[in-house]
Amino acid sequence: MNAPINYWPQCAYKTLQVSADNQLLVTDDFLRTYLLRDELNLVPESCAVEKLLHQRLTQNPRTAVSETEIAEMMDSDIQENYRIWLRYRTKLLTASSLESFYLGLFAGDGVDVPPLFVNQLVQIFMRHILGDKPSAMDARVAELFFRSQKMTVLEDGLVMSADHETIERNAQAPEFANIVDLLKQTTVAMKSIDLDVLHEDNVDLYWTRESNYDFAIPLNFGQTAVEHFSKLLAQWLNHFLGIEVKITPLAAINDPQWVWHVGLDAASTEILNALYNKDMVEANSIARLICLFRLDFISPNVALPELTGKPVYLGMAMNHDKLLKLKPQNLLFNLPLAPMS
C-alpha cells in the first residue's frame, strides 16, 4: 500500500511532535488523552471537586495540582489514580523527549509507572519507527513489543503466537471453540474465521482491523515473521542508541566461544543464563525457547574491546503459562557497549 496509513490511532502517536533529530516531544494534546482514559475520565458519580479539576486539566493539562485538592475528592481510588498520573506527568515534562523519558524509567531504582502506560509508550515508539507505510507483517510483528502473546505449539511443531488479551476476551464468547480449533490446525493458509493467521496471501486484511489484534503468526525459525522481527529489533536499537547492528535468526547456538547473550524476556533470560553457565537445563525448559538470534555490531567501536568481532546471542521464550512477555528495554540496557566518551 502506497498511501499513508493511520494505524493504531488509540496509541495517540498523532498527538505528539517530532523533533529535528527524530525524537518524540510531549504536547498538551498528548497529555489530554490520559484524561479520557477510564482511570481519569469523569463518570456520573464524579464529585464536584473531581469535575472542576478535570475541567481545569482539560483546558491546561500542565496546570499545577495540589495534594490538598486531590485529598478533597470523594473517591479514594480516583485520588490514587490522579497521584499516579501526576507523578507520571511530572517525569514526562521533565524529560527532553519521550525516548529520554523511556530510557530514564529503567535507569533508576525501579519503574514506578503502570505497565499499561509503559506498553503504550512502546507502541508509540514502534508506530514512529515503522512510519506511515509499513508492511502489514511488520505491523503485526511489532505487536510483540507491547502486547503479551499466547503461544500454542501445534502437533507438527509449528509455534503460533496470538494476542493474549484477544484470546482471553474471546474465551467468554460462544465462538471461542473456533479459535481453539484454528490454533490446532497444521497449515498456515486457512479460511478466515475469528482469529486468522497472517500470511502472504492475506496480509492486506490486517489493515481492515489493525486495532483488533486478532491475527496469529507462526514464530518458528525460517518463518517470515521471525525475519521481520529481527529487522525490527535492529531498528529499535538504532532509534534509541543510534548504533547499527545486524540481527540474524538462528536455529541453535553452536559457539564454543559464546561470551555474551541477552534475553528479550524474563523466561529466556533465565534459560540462556543456565545454558551459558552449563547448568543442567531440563528438556521442557529448552522447549520454551521460541526464537534465537545472532547480533553483530556494524557500527565501529561501540562494543567493549573484548567483544570486538564477537556476536551477541539473543533469545525469547514463553513462560510456564505459555505467555511471551517481551521486555524490549533489555536490548537497550544489556548489550556489552563501550562507555561513551
pLDDT tens readout for residues 106-122: 887 667 888 999 999 99
Q: How far is it, in rounded angstroms, from Cα 330 to Cα 301?
A: 21
Is a pLDDT exceeding 50 seen at residue 152? yes
What's the whole-number mean pLDDT along residues 150-178? 80
The reply to whether 266 and 182 lie within a common domain is no
Is a pLDDT exceeding 70 seen at residue 216? yes
CA angle 202, 139, 117 (to 5 degrees): 140
pTM to 2 decimal places: 0.91
The reply to whether 33 and 75 lie within a common domain is yes
Tell me the pLDDT band of 176, cut-offs 50, 70 and 90: very low
Point out the domain boundary residue: 158, 186, 218: 218
The reply to whether 170 and 249 lie within a common domain is no
The helix (run of H) or strand (run of E) holding residue 5 is: none
The per-residue pLDDT for 112 is: 82
The reply to whether 141 and 126 lie within a common domain is no
DSSP 292: E
Point out the domain boundary residue: 191, 218, 245: 218
Return the closest-CA partner of residue 289 out of 251, 333, 260, 257.
Answer: 251
Average pLDDT over the chain, rounded to an integer: 91
pLDDT in tens, 24-77: 999 999 999 999 999 999 999 999 999 999 999 999 999 999 999 999 999 999
The reply to whether 231 and 209 lie within a common domain is no
The rounded percent of the chain whose pLDDT value lies above 70 is 91
Quote the cell numbers at residue 60: 491546561
Residue in the block written with cell 499545577: 64
Beta bridge partners of 289: 317
Helix, strand, coil percent content, the chain, rounded in steps of 5: 45, 15, 45
Point out the domain boundary residue: 130, 153, 175: 130
SS3 157: coil
Domain extent, residue 17, equals 9-130
32: Cβ contacts below 8 Å, ≥ 6 apart: 15, 58, 61
